[in-house]
Amino acid sequence: MSFDSPVAFFPDILANVESVRAAIIANGADDRAQCAVDGDIARLEDAVLQLKRIRNSCTPLVRLPLEVLAEIAERLITIWPSVARYPKGFRSEISLGWVRLSHVCSGLRSALLHCRHLWARNISNMPFPPEFVYARCGDVPLTLIIRPYSTDEMVAFISDHLVQAREIDWMDSLDARNSAIIDTLSSTGHPHLLSHLGFPHLESLSFSLRMAKYRKPDMPDDGYKRPTMVAPRLRSLHLDDVMIPFQPGTLTSLTLRFDQRKPLTVDNFFDLLKRCVLLENLAVYGGVTALPATNHENSGTRGLVVLPHLLLIDVYGSIEMCMTILSSISTPRLLTTDIQISDTQANDLECAPYLLTLAPILQSAAPGVVGVTMRNYSTWDDDDGGERTLVSIILHTSDPGHVDSDIWVDGPFAKNHHTKLKLRFKIVDSIPPQYLESLDTASSTIGHASINTLEVGCVVNYAYTPATWSASFARFSHVNTLFFSNRQHTWALQALLVPDTPRGEGIPILPSLRFLWLKELHVYYAQGAFVLSGRRSEGDTQTTAISDVQFLEVLESRSRCGSALERLRIGKLFMNLELATQSFLPRVRAIVPIVECGKIHG
């Protein structure tokens, strides 16, 4: 036998191998020989395992103390949770990644096994029986999560261990098996239970019946008036189509969502808010009976509700409800307001009345605004059963170093800006789509002078001529950055053309513009066939694409009149690859000093 074989390092095993081989040749092998071979195999496997551990121990990371490894695991789980609660934008198939760390080496495995809070946070997500995981949690408060797919065993475990919870997240149960949890969390059936059942560790509670088939028929709308739950550490509360008794004095985050019912009158709602002295985030989606529009100016008779710590307010409902809430709250530290109007009528073809009604809100948000996002896009309205246009107006302030946490936000406002006001409402699909009318009304309300960055995203580009776009852009004389967030900007681009006049070059639109950013640019070769990707007719192409000659003329005309672009960024260029690289882009770079182009789709 060659000494290159691992067996050569075990002389006794080598001798036994030769002995058994000889016995087999002589037909003399028996059970004792097989047992001897099994023993040798076990010894070799144990040696291999020890060698692998020694090899892993040579890695500097693994030689760290268990306390340091545990801290590393803790940091990893905050950015890479285990199951079902992975960060927005992450794929679900990698959601068990931190558990796989335990396979790296015995040292890291030991560190993870001793991190009781990691097991306590993920007891509802692990594939093991909850009692097995619970044994590793010790006395650490639990994170209890229940979903429609939760097993009966998990539901029973959660019901028995509610008082040990640090976080309860229960959403959209589909059957009656969770009645014990409903009875525990709500005052229905057992109104005295919550006043006697304490939750000493509970910090976050999310409770949803929005899609549940099982609903207590007598679940009261005034549940918050019943004996309050004893949860002195409760900071975050999310109620979805259900009311339960709670103590608002400790809350820093409150979300109330009701699709159909309105369990709270205006007075009840503001009485509740007055006790939320620590509130930082407030979200209200329906559920509040609003004042008539004529009474908004009289809302001050109740007195303003002062929320000194409030940073974010998110309101969805009728325009009367939104105005009632926003006009009655004083928030000296407010950073972001998110408003979505739900009751736009199907025959309301104009956005201006809604914006004029909300003018006080826009004016209060105007100080510090340096950027405006204006978008519209089609969406399906479940209530009306038809297509609607969702108009979105977003106001941004400068915030150097800030990075938006929403991975879907791109363009110039993804970094170094903060969203101060977001306003959305639906209108019936119409031609024209009232897009520029909304932009003009909103920008006139907040003032044009401070706006230096403008984002435009219009899905119905062909409804406006270049002259219409020019008239709208003319108000933004201080804009130096213009971002088109979709492909339908042909006529808007042509509005940037500086026309010739009998006396020479005309006055440029957006005279301060230096940075043009196009998320997509569809270009066709003016002298040849249409070369855009996809199946489009020539007429359809004209609504989403611009010819190379037209685009270059826009750039050259601005250079001639002294308003040349300094920077051009194209996220995706839809054009023949050869024409783009050998003709179009070189000609663009001859006009604009800095040209950035992402992927070219031929």
- Which mean pLDDT values do the consecutive 10-residue runs of the chain (602 residues) have? 54 80 77 84 86 74 71 67 46 45 61 79 83 90 86 85 90 58 52 62 87 49 62 92 83 88 79 92 86 50 83 89 88 88 56 72 88 80 63 91 81 92 74 70 83 85 78 91 87 87 74 95 70 38 74 92 93 92 94 95 80
Q: What percentage of residues in the chain have a pLDDT greater than 70?
A: 71
Q: Give the β-pairing of 415-428 and 481-484.
A: unpaired
Q: Distance between alpha carbon 423 and the CA centroid of its chain, in Å?
A: 17
Phi and psi angles of residue 304, each rounded to the nearest 5 degrees, phi first? -70, 140
180/159 Cα distance (integer angstroms): 6
172/211 Cα distance (integer angstroms): 5
Strand intervals (E) in 164-266: 165-171, 204-208, 236-240, 253-257
User: Which residues fall within 8 angstroms of residue 221, CB to CB, at 6 or more apart?
Assistant: 243, 261, 263, 264
Q: Distance between alpha carbon 582 and the CA centroid of its chain, in Å?
A: 40
Q: Which amino acid is at 11?
A: P
249/253 Cα distance (integer angstroms): 11
Residue 489's nearest CA partner among 462, 468, 510 is: 462
End-to-end CA distance of the chain: 62
| Residue 221 near residue 261 (C-beta atoms within 8 A) | yes
219/222 Cα distance (integer angstroms): 9
Q: Distance between alpha carbon 332 and the CA centroid of its chain, in Å?
A: 26
Q: Give the β-pairing of 415-428 and 386-403.
A: antiparallel
20/14 Cα distance (integer angstroms): 10
The helix (H) or strand (E) run that includes residue 46 is helix 31-57
500/140 Cα distance (integer angstroms): 75
- What per-residue confidence (pLDDT) applies to 90? 43
pLDDT, one tens digit per residue, over 503-512 is 656 788 999 9
Strand intervals (E) in 123-203: 142-146, 165-171
pLDDT, one tens digit per residue, over 190-234 is 444 455 568 899 999 998 876 554 454 444 545 555 667 788 999
| Residue 393 near residue 374 (C-beta atoms within 8 A) | yes
558/554 Cα distance (integer angstroms): 6
| Residue 533 near residue 497 (C-beta atoms within 8 A) | no
- What per-residue confidence (pLDDT) applies to 191? 40
| Positive/negative CA dihedral, 243, 330, 203, 315 | positive
